[in-house]
Amino acid sequence: MLRFVSWGAHHDVGHKGFSTEAKRELVSALSDYGDVYITSEDPLPDEFEDYRLPIPPTQIHDLLYYANLYAGDSQTMATEAAILGTPAVRSNSFAGEGDMSNFAELEQEYDLLYSRTEEGETLEIVGELIADSDAQDRWRQKREQLIEDKIDVTDFMLEMIYKLGESDS
């Protein structure tokens, strides 16, 4: 699954994601391994129309969970893929030194995400991951470790509410 953003938001000024040529290379490389689906904020060039995601946006996380791989320049979907346990590769000019803490944690502590600025390096990683028949199983195991290490937010909130209720009585 591929995701391309438009880079038109005010916080995106001066930043960039995949070039058209890198997008072509991704589609070509991934097509050798199976179906390729693209979701994009910008209109897709005609050459990519056959790869347009054929499902409603409300089902995108279902597809993302079952995908063999996520690659894109989207910040949000890279995080979602990693947390769902799908091998995830993110490439844009935000990546690298000084990256946001969620990306650093997912990459450095859990090895659930690759974040790169260089398209060539990104394409190499994508090629290695898609050719690795065990990648999905390893990512699911890493995801389980992430979940095990984190608090259950619902339990935490309920505990706080109960404690607040007890202190008022």
| Domain enclosing residue 46, as ranges | 2-168
Convert 138-169 to b/e letters by CB count within 10 Å (16 or more is b): ebeebbeebeeeeeeeeeeeeeeeeeeeeeee
What is the CATH classification number for the domain harbouring 85? 3.40.50.2000
pLDDT at residue 141 is higher than 80: yes
Total tally of structural domains belonging to the chain: 1
Tell me the pLDDT band of 169, cut-offs 50, 70 and 90. Answer: low
Can you read off the two tokens belonging to residue 120? 């060539």
What tens digit of pLDDT does each residue of 67-121 get?
Answer: 999 999 999 999 999 999 999 999 999 998 888 899 999 999 999 999 999 999 9
**Helix axes of 20-31 and 119-131: crossing angle, nearest 10 degrees:** 10
Can you read off the two tokens belonging to residue 46? 């005609």
Tell me the pLDDT band of 10, cut-offs 50, 70 and 90. Answer: confident
- Return the CA Rg of the chain: 18
Instruction: Provide the edge-to-edge strand list for the sheet that holds 38-40.
Output: 38-40, 2-4, 70-72, 88-91, 113-116
What distance in Å separates the CA atoms of residue 162 and residue 108, rounded to the nearest whole number?
A: 36
∠ CA 71-78-134, nearest 5°, is 60
Can you read off the two tokens belonging to residue 112? 């659930």
**What Å distances lie between residue 54 and 51, 68, 78, 125, 158, CA to CA?**
8, 17, 20, 26, 39
